[in-house]
Amino acid sequence: MTEIRNIAIIAHVDHGKTTLVDRMLHQVKLFRENQDIGELILDNNDLERERGITILSKNVSIRYKETKINIIDTPGHSDFGGEVERVLNMADGVLLIVDAFEGPMPQTRFVLQKALELGLKPIVVVNKVDKPNCTPDIAQEKVFDLMFSLDATEEQLDFPTVYGSAKAGWMGPDWKEEAQDISHLLDVILEHIPPASHKEGTLQMRITSLDYSSYTGRIAVGKITRGQLIPGSPVSLVKRDRSTVKSVAKEVYLFEGLGKEKTKEPVPSGEICAVLGLEGFDIGDTIADALEPEGLEPIRVDEPTMSMLFVANNSPFFGKDGKFVTSRQLRERLFKETEKNLALRVQETNSADSFLVFGRGILHLSILVETMRREGYEMQLGQPKVIIKEIDGVKNEPVEYLTVQVPEEFSGKVIEQVTQRKGEIINIDMKGDRAHLEFSIPARGIIGLRNQMLTATEGEAIMAHRFKGYEPWKGNLGVHRNGALISLETGTAIAYSIDKMQDRGRFFVDPGQDVYAGQVIGENTRQDDLTINIIRTKKLTNMRAAGSDDKTSIAPAIKFSLEEAMEYIRNDEYLEVTPKFMRIRKILLNEHDRKRQAKTLTDE
pTM score, whole prediction: 0.68
- The verdict on 27 and 172 lying in the same domain is yes
Q: Which of 434, 449, 472 is the last residue of a domain?
A: 472
Q: Which of 472, 507, 537 is the last residue of a domain?
A: 472
- The verdict on 113 and 241 lying in the same domain is no
Secondary structure (DSSP) of 50-106: HHT---S-EEEEEEETTEEEEEEE---SGGGHHHHHHHHTT-SEEEEEEETTT-S-H
Query: Shortest CA distance to 494 belongs to which of 546, 554, 583, 545?
Result: 554
Sign of CA dihedral 46, 48, 51, 52: negative
Q: Report whether 129 belongs to an annotated binding site.
A: yes
360: phi then psi, degrees, rounded to nearest 5: -90, -5
Tell me, yes or no, whether 72 lies in a domain.
yes
Containing 367, the helix (H) or strand (E) segment is helix 362-374
- The verdict on 42 and 187 lying in the same domain is yes
- Check: CB of residue 485 under 8 Å from CB of residue 520: yes
- Check: CB of residue 440 under 8 Å from CB of residue 424: yes
Measured in whole angstroms, the distance separating CA 133 from the mean position of its chain's CA atoms is 30
- The verdict on 178 and 217 lying in the same domain is no
Tell me, yes or no, whether 230 lies in a domain.
yes
Q: Report whether 18 belongs to an annotated binding site.
A: yes
Between the two ends of the chain, the Cα-to-Cα distance in Å is: 76
- The verdict on 413 and 459 lying in the same domain is yes
Measured in whole angstroms, the distance separating CA 273 from the mean position of its chain's CA atoms is 25
Tell me, yes or no, whether 453 lies in a domain.
yes
- The verdict on 456 and 571 lying in the same domain is no
Distance CA 257, CA 349 (A): 45
For the chain, the domain total comes to 4
Tell me, yes or no, whether 404 lies in a domain.
yes
What pLDDT is attached to residue 54?
A: 41
Measured CA distances, 535 to 169, 523, 552 (Å): 58, 17, 15
Q: What share of the chain is helix, strand, coil (3-state, %, to 5)?
A: 25, 35, 40
Tell me, yes or no, whether 546 lies in a domain.
yes
- The verdict on 81 and 215 lying in the same domain is no
Tell me, yes or no, whether 265 lies in a domain.
yes
What per-residue string of b and e applies to 27-43 under the rule 16 or more CB within 10 Å gives b?
bbebeeeeeeeeeebbb
Q: Report whether 392 belongs to an annotated binding site.
A: no
Beta-strand (E) ranges in 92-240?
93-99, 121-127, 161-165, 170-172, 204-213, 217-226, 234-238
Q: Report whether 600 belongs to an annotated binding site.
A: no
- The verdict on 98 and 241 lying in the same domain is no
Q: Report whether 43 belongs to an annotated binding site.
A: no
Kindly report the CATH number assigned to the domain that includes residue 568.
2.40.50.250
Q: Report whether 389 belongs to an annotated binding site.
A: no
Q: Report whether 241 belongs to an annotated binding site.
A: no
| Number of Cβ within a 10 Å radius of residue 595 | 12
Q: Report whether 15 belongs to an annotated binding site.
A: yes
Q: Report whether 108 belongs to an annotated binding site.
A: no
Distance CA 4, CA 427 (A): 43
Measured CA distances, 386 to 242, 361, 383, 566, 599 (Å): 33, 9, 10, 13, 28
Spans of the chain below 50 pLDDT: 31-45, 47-56
- The verdict on 18 and 116 lying in the same domain is yes
Distance CA 313, CA 378 (A): 6
Tell me, yes or no, whether 167 lies in a domain.
yes
Kindly report the CATH number assigned to the domain that includes residue 17.
3.40.50.300
Range of the domain at 463: 389-472
Q: Which of 169, 192, 215 is the last residue of a domain?
A: 192
Tell me, yes or no, whether 97 lies in a domain.
yes
Burial of 432 (0-12, 13-18, 19+ CB in 10 A): exposed
Query: How many CA atoms does the CB half-sphere of 228 hold within 13 Å?
Result: 9
- The verdict on 241 and 127 lying in the same domain is no
Burial of 497 (0-12, 13-18, 19+ CB in 10 A): middle
Q: What is the DSSP letter of 379?
A: E
Q: Report whether 130 belongs to an annotated binding site.
A: yes
Secondary structure (DSSP) of 390-437: EETTEEEEEEEEEEEEEEGGGHHHHHHHHHHTT-EEEEEEEETTEEEE
400: phi then psi, degrees, rounded to nearest 5: -120, 150
Kindly report the CATH number assigned to the domain that includes residue 267.
2.40.30.10
Q: What is the DSSP letter of 461?
A: -
Residues in a beta bridge with 11:
97
Kindly report the CATH number assigned to the domain that includes residue 444.
3.30.70.240
Distance CA 13, CA 89 (A): 21
3: phi then psi, degrees, rounded to nearest 5: -75, 150
Measured CA distances, 399 to 285, 466, 566 (Å): 32, 9, 20
- The verdict on 146 and 265 lying in the same domain is no
- The verdict on 437 and 586 lying in the same domain is no
